[in-house]
Amino acid sequence: MFSLVDGSLYAAELNLWIDASAGRERCYVSHGHSDHARRHALIVATPQSAAICRSRLGDGLAFETHAYHEPFELGPARLTLFPAGHVLGSSQLLIENERGRFVYTGDFKLGPALTCEPATVERCDVLLMECTFGRPRYVFPPREEICAALTAWARRTLEEGATPVVYAYSLGKAQEAMALLGGAGFKLMVHPAIERLARVYSEQGVELPPHLAFDAAGAAGHVVIFPPGGNARALAELRYTRTAMLTGWALDPGARYRSGVDAVFPLSDHADFPSLLRYLELAAPRKVLLNHGFKDFVHELRRRGIDAEFLEPHAQLSLF
């Protein structure tokens, strides 16, 4: 059913591309991050992801939207989108036909999030799963612990008369940071790209705490949220800052140093190692295909008796 064409997954029977990296005729887009959302002639996505794509990719796009858990027919198969817990609107794709159930996770996270629907897991026969943090050392601390550490850092920074600058990807992580820090009582100033997406969140029913567009002259007393690498010149106008990065890679030795920030916090929108294993327990597939991650996760799974394979960019698939 599937083949990989130029590194992108294509279901010929359905005439459907999946998170294709180049513009295609008809493509399922799992979520609005730029490595997944490209301009296609027709984008199949959740209504929330469609709104995010519209905001990021501009006008002139055509969408076919499907709400979570509402199956629809496509060719000889039945498809269902269900939450991935990664960013607002992020979905996983279930394809059912007479041969069984196939799930494509896209980027996902298990557990709670403040600004998107928590992921659900479907039992399936064949699973194509991302494994970004597929090494045993990637065990994220409980969210409450990360949040407590981040808010304590921001409070300390303000008390010392500096402006805390938090780097977080403009889609997803930044809104999570806004909810978390605004919810803890901090005044927020955000980069314009983050503000634009926050507006989409609120149009889609996810209210975020009050916030202002970044303005260096009025930033004192606020927590500033910027995308990593987002307009360093604007930030240079702030006289005294402390910086922090929100990333799962915070668990890497030297992460703070490598990111060039004063602090790192392991707030991630991906599953950590135990969550990847937990997902497999719940989905109970007979075959696991892996993409977007460490190839050695394959060996971790095989050691556990799971039939797993890493999806090489030019592999031919006739599994399903």
Give how many residues touch Zn ion by CB under 5 A.
2
Contact 271, 86 (CB under 8 A): no
- 211 in contact with Zn ion (CB under 5 A): no
CB of 39 to Zn ion, least distance (A): 17
CB of 245 to Zn ion, least distance (A): 17
Contact 248, 214 (CB under 8 A): no
40 vs 109, beta carbon nearer Zn ion? 109
CB of 183 to Zn ion, least distance (A): 23
**9-48 residues near Zn ion, rule: CB under 5 A:** 33
Helix 143-159 and helix 173-183: axis angle, to 10°? 70
Q: What is the largest CA-CA distance in the chain?
A: 64
CB of 45 to Zn ion, least distance (A): 13
313: buried, middle or exposed (CB in 10 Å: 19+, 13-18, 0-12)? exposed
83 vs 164, beta carbon nearer Zn ion? 83
118 vs 183, beta carbon nearer Zn ion? 118
Q: HSE on the CB side for 91, CA within 13 Å?
A: 27
181 bridge partner residues = none
- Lay out the site mask for Zn ion across 92-131 (x = CB under 5 A, - = otherwise): ---------------x------------------------
195 vs 269, beta carbon nearer Zn ion? 269
222 vs 270, beta carbon nearer Zn ion? 270
278 vs 292, beta carbon nearer Zn ion? 292
In this structure, the chain runs to a length of 320
CB of 100 to Zn ion, least distance (A): 27
* Direct distance between the N- and C-terminal alpha carbons of the chain, in angstroms, rounded to an integer: 5
Give Cα 304 distance to the centre of its chain: 27
CA distance 79 to 89: 17
- Lay out the site mask for Zn ion across 265-304 (x = CB under 5 A, - = otherwise): ----------------------------------------
Give the CA dihedral 283, 289, 294, 300, nearest 10 degrees: 60
10 vs 108, beta carbon nearer Zn ion? 108
CB of 154 to Zn ion, least distance (A): 25
CA distance 169 to 154: 18
CB of 132 to Zn ion, least distance (A): 9
Q: What does the binding site for Zn ion look like in residue numbers (CB under 5 A)? A: 33, 107
